[in-house]
Amino acid sequence: MSAPRDRRPPADEPLGSITRPVVDDSDIAPVCYACGAVDLTRLRVALPAGRPAVFASCPDCEATAWFVVDGDGRALGPDGLPRA
């Protein structure tokens, strides 16, 4: 048995839509709409219409909301309408 000699690492691939750099989305989803906590869990996602958004979950009160990237900063519910 001869081991393959060509063990080059794969060529650099451009980052696709799945792999994203770590970003700070605290500007987009700044605060829990329900209790005001700022230490939210934030996930960058894409809405069905293709709009980028941030899904935020509050570890304190478990409230969740959507925030449209480059939107007006309002917390949106699952139906896309503003919370509160």
Binding mask 37-56 for Zn ion (x = CB under 5 A): x-------------------
Residue 31 near Zn ion by CB under 5 A: no
Per CB under 5 A, the list member of 35, 43, 45, 46 interacting with Zn ion is 35
Question: Tokens 């896309």 sit at which residue?
Answer: 80
Exposed / middle / buried, residue 67 (Cβ in 10 Å: 0-12, 13-18, 19+): buried
Stretch that binds Zn ion, among 21-29, 30-38, 43-51, 74-82 (CB under 5 A): 30-38
Q: Which residues of 19-50 are buried (b: 16+ CB within 10 A; e: fewer)?
A: eeeeeebeebbebbbbeeeeebebeeeeeeee
Per CB under 5 A, the list member of 28, 53, 56, 58 interacting with Zn ion is 58
Per CB under 5 A, the list member of 42, 47, 51, 63 interacting with Zn ion is 63
